[in-house]
Structure 1
Amino acid sequence: MTTSTYDLPAAVANVPLAQDRLANTLSALTDAEIREPSVLPGWTRGHVIAHLARHAEAMVRLIDGVLTGRPAQAYPGGPTVREAEIELGARSSADELADEVYSTNIAIVHAFARMTTPTWGRQVQFPSGSFPASRCAWARWREVEIHHVDLGLDVYTIESWPEEFVSTHLPHELAKLPNRLPPGTAVQVGPSRFGSGEVVASIDGPDAALLAWLFGRVGLAAPSLTITGSVELPPWS
């Protein structure tokens, strides 16, 4: 099991690469295909794609707030407005969604290029709390890679994730695992034990599958994992 620490330059460098792979996938989708269910319950592929476009806009909004000195919300209007915008976007055609993702991808790359070491350290307001602006790069890389596989297409699966994405994110997700376990329980993941108390499950397999399991993509991960016992984690966020 590989490990590494989070690296802001790596995230900034990988965001456009991940976005380009996503754009290539979207360019081949038909209107019928984007209406089909995604891996995410209740969401079509169109919902996933619309969410990725809205997420890019949110990250650009936060970066602009940092650079102008006028702090911004990632999603003005809160969850209700965000969900309504995703629902609206999901009704667009395949070409319209592909164009929207393409343009928002470019916008986020340009926004990141304007940042400096000091500005990456300034605080921004995510829905989950206040974080350094560097989280925008981290979050975008993660969102694009995870939701690319959420489309449920054979052309991009968890096995398609670049090794750098897996090796960067897996240690961070494993570090959060003890807090996600039921009190008084532990799990064995590969050679390592997480949590305290009785070991209720053992999970082993390729790093990409372990990461997908930690991300809550159990259905995508299960075919590649050996699982003994049972543990149910709360929804990943």
Structure 2
Amino acid sequence: MGAGTEFLVQLVDALPDDALRAPSGLPGWTRAHVVAHVARNAEALTRLAEWARTGVETPMYADAEQRAAEIESSSRFPADRLRRELSTTADALDVALSRLDDGDWRATVRSALGREIPAAEVPWMRVREVWLHAVDLASGATVSDLPPEVVDTLLDDVTGVLSGKDGCPRAVLTATDRDRTWPLGPEGATLQVHGPAASLLAWLTGRGDGSALTTLDGDLPTPPRWI
């Protein structure tokens, strides 16, 4: 989590101020929207940490409309404020997590989608945010820049979520750069997809077109939306 935050902050700091207003890799969002979202996400996850520690229910967001409004308004902040809040909110999250004891980590909280989770999942939720949104800045970073252990754990996460969605293709994903496979979709896979693990992840999360992948039994399918 800390390494991902540092990677993202370095990318943002390397951008000229006016470049923050350029389009990001996410439709309809500028780079400033991405930075604003990551900062507000740190605050939302800090609320979950406080919920776990105190037992007082403090959801990530009141509702989806509040979340969207906060991102939109924050994206208009001056560049220096955006950069500052990206770091200060991450530091505050670190402090909040450091205050949790063994019992707190087992406390049940809720994700933004309403899923009940143990507080122990909060750091992983942040890992996903900082590393993947570093790619979404569209400033040169790609999924291949993610640490191998992050790529593999994201593949575990993404294939698990997508497999439970309607329209998910049946496939077995085989990484050509390590001894790993991931099942995708209902049991009884009919398609074999091969490629570097980072390319598999980029394709599944909509951060790559699958051009680095090959299939043995047909055309590359289109996976459903992840999150």
Relative to the length of structure 1, the TM-score reads 0.84
CA contact (8 A) 1:122 1:132 kept: yes
Larger displacement relative to structure 2 (206-215 or 80-89):
206-215
Structure 1 residue 84 and structure 2 residue 85: aligned?
Answer: no
Matched with 1:217 is 207
**Structure 2 partner of 1:160:** 145
- Kept in 1, the 8 Å contact 2:24–2:138? The answer is yes
Alpha-carbon distance in 2 for matches of 1:83, 1:43:
11
Q: Percent identity?
A: 35
Q: In the alignment, is the contact (CA less than 8 A) between 1:202 and 1:229 conserved in 2?
A: no
In structure 2, which of residues 204, 209, 222 is the aligned counterpart of residue 232 of structure 1? 222
Which residue identity does 2:172 align to in structure 1? Q
Secondary structure of the corresponding residue to residue 74 of structure 1: coil
Answer yes or no: is the 8 Å Cα contact 1:36–1:45 preserved in 2. yes
CA deviation map 1:172-211 (0-9, x unaligned): 323344323627x522322665434673x54321111112
Q: Return the letter of the residue paired with 2:200.
A: L
In structure 1, the residue matched to 2:130 is 144
CA distance in 2, matches of 1:204, 1:158: 16
Per the normalisation by structure 2, the TM-score is 0.87
Matched, 1:61 2:47: yes
Query: 1:229 aligns to what SS in structure 2?
Result: coil
Name stretches of at least 5 consecutive residues in structure 2 with no aligned partner: 175-180
Following TM superposition, by how much is the alpha carbon of 1:82 offset from its aligned partner in structure 2, in angstroms?
1.0
Partner of 1:33 in structure 2? 19
**Is the 8 Å Cα contact of residues 27 and 95 (structure 1) preserved in structure 2?**
no
8 Å Cα contact 1:181/1:233 also seen in 2: no
For 2:132, give the aligned amino acid: I
Question: Residues of 2 paired with 1:198 and 1:102: CA distance?
Answer: 44
After superposition, where does 1:88-103 map in structure 2 within 5 Å? 88-103=73-88
Considering Cα pairs closer than 8 Å and 6+ residues apart, tell me whether 1 or 2 has the greater RCO.
1
Larger proportion of helix: 1
Structure 1 unpaired stretches of 5+ = 1-14
| Corresponding residue SS for 2:170 | strand
What count of residue pairs does the alignment treat as equivalent?
217
Which whole-Å CA distance do the structure 2 matches of 1:65 and 1:181 have between them? 33
After superposing the two structures, state which structure 1 stretch, 187-196 or 83-92, moved more: 187-196
Paired residues of 1:65 and 1:72 also in contact (CA < 8 A): yes
